């Protein structure tokens, strides 16, 4: 299980990136999502707040779509 957060600030394309707690790119302005066994569940949780959520290329690459 990993701990996941979503960036409260959208990227230029409107995506809110989902990061693991140990990601080198984790933002300071973030929302705690919880502990999940995979990034798909974390992104699904993030979409409850930000419908345009996406996995981080570095720490959640399996869920990175754009």
pTM score of the predicted model: 0.94
> Does residue 66 surpass a pLDDT of 80?
no
Q: What confidence score (pLDDT) does residue 65 get? A: 86
| Cα–Cα distances in angstroms (integers) from residue 33 to residues 22, 44, in the given order | 14, 10
Q: What's the mean pLDDT in 2-13?
A: 97
C-alpha torsion 22→28→32→33, nearest 10 = -70
Which structural domain, as residue segments, surrounds residue 8?
2-63
Q: Indicate the number of domains in the chain.
A: 1
> What are the pLDDT digits (tens) for 19-61?
999 999 999 999 999 999 999 999 999 999 999 999 999 999 9
Q: Phi first, then psi: what are they for 39, rounded to 5°?
A: -75, -25
């Amino acid at each position: 299980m990993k701990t996941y957060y979503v960036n409260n600030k959208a990227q230029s394309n409107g995506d809110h990136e989902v990061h693991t707690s140990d990601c080198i790119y984790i933002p300071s302005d973030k929302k705690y999502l919880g502990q999940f066994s995979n990034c798909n569940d974390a992104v699904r949780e993030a979409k409850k707040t930000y419908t345009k959520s996406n996995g981080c290329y570095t720490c959640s690459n399996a869920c990175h779509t754009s």
